């Protein structure tokens, strides 16, 4: 067990699975006290049980009033907040021709509105902490377009610019804000997209062909970068969008 996060309280959204869960697990191993947020009650409570001393919050990040209330209460119970990881996200694999406005709004609500709502609720405590950090899980799809992912690409590009704007506003309070832009990582969300492709093996090969390392990433590999951006090891970094994608050619 490490000590890089000892004495720090960190809020992780999307903590029930995928990269969010991997971040929570790694941060706990490094000594952090965790507030874990997800709308999947059963899974997030199970993760909190695995990570002793963690608190689970069951709420949908697209609901501003409930989310803000839950976060502020949790911060009060924890006695402050030192870090935030916005990992909650969804994607919809659909052509622009077939996409409805409801599908567009669903993606935007989780991927862009959600981080804004969560960050807004946590912002006062993070400013007060001094030396706090925010890491937003963006995507390589926020740096370069992909077919059939127009809403996802737009939401993640917006999240990168939100990251950089918050970095400017947080600097006076020693609050650093960075983004991580993963390539293809085998998470439940990606598994669902592969299944929806009609030919999962062919879709897998298309994804693999995009990067120089010839494989999917692992959630734990992304979590290591999030940890780095949440510690003093990255003390001169803010407003960055770090690509972790195996050398994907679409960058």
Q: Which residue has the tokens 């940890």?
A: 227
Strands (E), 138-248: 176-182, 241-244
In this prediction the pTM is: 0.94
Percentage of the residues of the chain whose pLDDT score is greater than 90: 81
The 10s digit of each residue's pLDDT in 74-117 is 999 999 999 999 999 999 989 999 999 999 999 999 999 999 99
Lowest mean pLDDT among 36-40, 170-174, 210-214, 221-225: 210-214
243: left (phi over 0), alpha (psi -120 to 50) or beta: beta
Confidence of residue 173 (pLDDT cuts 50, 70, 90): very high
Please check the confidence at residue 198 and state whether its pLDDT lies above 80.
no
- pLDDT given at position 27: 98
Q: Please check the confidence at residue 186 and state whether its pLDDT lies above 90.
A: no
* Overall average pLDDT of the 210-222 stretch: 90
Kindly report the average pLDDT of the chain as a whole number: 94
Question: Are 38 and 88 in contact, with CB atoms under 8 Å apart?
Answer: yes
Rounded to an integer, what distance in angstroms lies between the CA atom of residue 34 and that of residue 30? Answer: 11
Query: Band of the pLDDT at 250, cuts 50, 70, 90?
Result: low
Q: How confident is the model at residue 24 (pLDDT cuts 50, 70, 90)?
A: very high
Identify the weakest region by mean pLDDT among 116-130, 173-187, 205-219. 205-219
pLDDT at 251 over 60: no
Question: In order of start, what are the domains of the chain with their CATH numbers?
Answer: 9-237 (3.40.50.720)
Percent of the chain with pLDDT over 70: 98
Segment among 156-160, 162-166, 207-211 with least mean pLDDT:
207-211
* Average pLDDT score over residue span 178-196: 84
Going by pLDDT thresholds of 50, 70 and 90, the confidence category of residue 145 is very high
pLDDT at 171 over 80: yes
Q: Give the pLDDT band of residue 193 (cuts 50, 70, 90).
A: confident
Tell me the three state secondary structure of residue 62.
Answer: coil
- Rounded CA gap, 74 and 13, in Å? 13
| d(C-alpha 67, C-alpha 69), whole Å | 5
Which SS3 state, helix, strand or coil, does residue 56 take? strand
Which of 152, 170, 210, 246 is catalytic? The answer is 152
- Over 70: is that where the pLDDT of 249 sits? no
Tell me, yes or no, if 207 is annotated catalytic: no
What confidence score (pLDDT) does residue 187 get?
Answer: 80
| C-beta atoms surrounding 205 within 10 Å | 10
């Amino acid at each position: 067990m490490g000590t890089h996060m000892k004495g720090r309280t960190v809020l992780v959204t999307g903590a029930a699975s995928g990269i969010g869960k991997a971040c929570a697990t790694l941060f706990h191993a490094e000594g952090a006290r965790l507030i874990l947020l997800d709308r999947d009650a059963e899974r997030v409570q199970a993760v909190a049980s695995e990570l002793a001393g963690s608190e689970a919050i069951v709420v949908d990040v697209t609901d501003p009033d409930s989310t803000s209330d839950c976060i502020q209460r949790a911060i009060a119970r924890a006695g402050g907040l030192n870090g935030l990881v916005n990992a909650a996200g969804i994607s919809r694999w659909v052509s622009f021709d077939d996409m409805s406005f409801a599908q567009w709004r669903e993606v935007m609500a989780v991927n862009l509105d959600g981080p804004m709502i969560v960050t807004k609720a946590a912002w006062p405590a993070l400013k007060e902490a001094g030396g706090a950090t925010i890491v937003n899980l963006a995507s390589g799809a926020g740096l370069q377009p992909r077919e059939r992912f127009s809403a996802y690409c737009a939401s993640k590009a917006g999240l990168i610019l939100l990251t950089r704007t918050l970095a400017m506003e947080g600097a006076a309070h020693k609050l650093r804000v960075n983004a991580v832009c993963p390539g293809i990582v085998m998470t439940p969300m990606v598994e669902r997209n592969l299944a929806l492709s009609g030919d999962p093996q062919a879709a897998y090969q298309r994804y693999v062909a995009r990067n120089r390392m010839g494989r999917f990433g692992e959630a734990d590999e992304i979590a290591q970068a999030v940890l780095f951006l949440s510690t003093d090891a990255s003390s001169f970094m803010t407003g960055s969008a770090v690509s972790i994608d195996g050398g994907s050619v679409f960058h």
